[in-house]
């Protein structure tokens, strides 16, 4: 059984974004975002969602991510790459959650609205809702006893810099890369220089991508290569 999911049109999403870029942001301080529906702004998506959910900003990103992902049982990645869907979810279904989770107040800026309410496939982890779905989609591993083991690492409270560094790399487009790197960091518990370590490892992969077709590599390759990169990091530091 599924529920009807709605989405903005691409044109309406573009209009909203242009308003924000022009400094028209008063609507974001209201309790509810007012949509200027004319019969063309919102339309249905069939068979992409199992049930409705209410996200709770007082809970962890991990808890909200799993809740959201499991509700979108049949969402194809090509639809998940459309800005219009995520813009609808941030402006309509989860407007309160977005503002509370990211501490919006009367002084929020156009740049922050563009970052959290809108979406770009190159920085999918900035949008307040898409980051939850993609965070699970790229890390869920059914071969594990706990399929969400790597999701817990990626969305962990102490790993925000790991998330940001990885999400800005082309590696983030490769599920096997994300799983392999998360496997490494699920075992790496040394918090000394943690930010420098994860940045070094991701940069190491970025350089490696210039000479090797990383898109074809499997999870274990990324896991083992991350181990080698750590040895190199310690060697250079020493």
- Per DSSP, what are the bridge partners of residue 43? 7
Residues 203-216: tens digit of each pLDDT = 999 999 989 999 99
Question: Where is 177: in which H helix or E strand?
Answer: helix 175-187
Indicate the residue among 137, 172, 187 that finishes a domain.
Answer: 137
Regarding whether 147 and 67 lie in a shared domain, the answer is: no
Number of domains in the chain: 2
Domain ranges, residue 75:
1-137
Regarding whether 162 and 76 lie in a shared domain, the answer is: no
Regarding whether 180 and 84 lie in a shared domain, the answer is: no
Structure tokens at 79: 């639809």
Regarding whether 120 and 12 lie in a shared domain, the answer is: yes
Indicate the residue among 137, 168, 196 that finishes a domain.
Answer: 137
Above 70 in pLDDT, residue 1?
no
Regarding whether 144 and 132 lie in a shared domain, the answer is: no
Regarding whether 118 and 20 lie in a shared domain, the answer is: yes
> What does the buried/exposed string (b/e) look like for 3-33 if buried means 16 or more CB atoms within 10 Å of the residue's CB?
eebebbeeebbeebbeebeeeebebbeeeeb
Residues 95-147: tens digit of each pLDDT = 999 999 999 876 789 999 999 999 987 788 899 999 999 999 999 999 999 99
Regarding whether 123 and 27 lie in a shared domain, the answer is: yes
Regarding whether 237 and 153 lie in a shared domain, the answer is: yes
Regarding whether 89 and 144 lie in a shared domain, the answer is: no
Indicate the residue among 117, 137, 157 that finishes a domain.
Answer: 137
CB 72 within 8 A of CB 140: no
**Residue 168: pLDDT band by 50, 70, 90 thresholds?**
confident
Regarding whether 110 and 195 lie in a shared domain, the answer is: no
**Residue 70: pLDDT band by 50, 70, 90 thresholds?**
very high
Regarding whether 162 and 118 lie in a shared domain, the answer is: no
């Amino acid at each position: 059984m599924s529920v009807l999911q709605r989405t903005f049109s691409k044109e309406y999403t573009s209009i909203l974004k242009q308003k924000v870029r022009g400094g028209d942001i008063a609507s974001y301080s209201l309790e509810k975002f007012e949509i200027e529906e004319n019969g063309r702004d919102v339309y249905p998506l069939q068979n992409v969602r199992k049930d409705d959910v209410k996200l709770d900003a007082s809970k962890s990103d991990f808890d909200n991510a799993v809740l959201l992902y499991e509700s979108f049982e049949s969402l194809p990645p090509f639809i998940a790459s459309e800005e219009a869907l995520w813009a609808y979810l941030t402006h309509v279904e989860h407007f309160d959650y977005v503002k509370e989770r990211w501490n919006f107040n009367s002084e929020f800026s156009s740049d922050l609205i563009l970052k959290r309410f809108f979406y770009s496939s190159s920085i999918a982890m900035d949008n307040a809702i898409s980051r939850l779905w993609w965070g699970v989609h790229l890390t869920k591993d059914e071969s594990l006893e706990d399929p969400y083991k790597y999701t817990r690492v990626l969305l962990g409270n102490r790993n925000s810099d790991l998330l940001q560094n990885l999400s800005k790399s082309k590696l983030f487009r490769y599920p096997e890369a994300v799983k392999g790197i998360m496997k490494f960091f699920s075992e790496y518990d040394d918090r000394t220089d943690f930010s420098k370590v994860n940045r070094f490892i991701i940069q190491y992969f970025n350089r490696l991508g210039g000479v090797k077709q990383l898109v074809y590599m499997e999870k274990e390759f990324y896991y083992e290569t991350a181990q080698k990169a750590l040895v190199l990091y310690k060697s250079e530091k020493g």
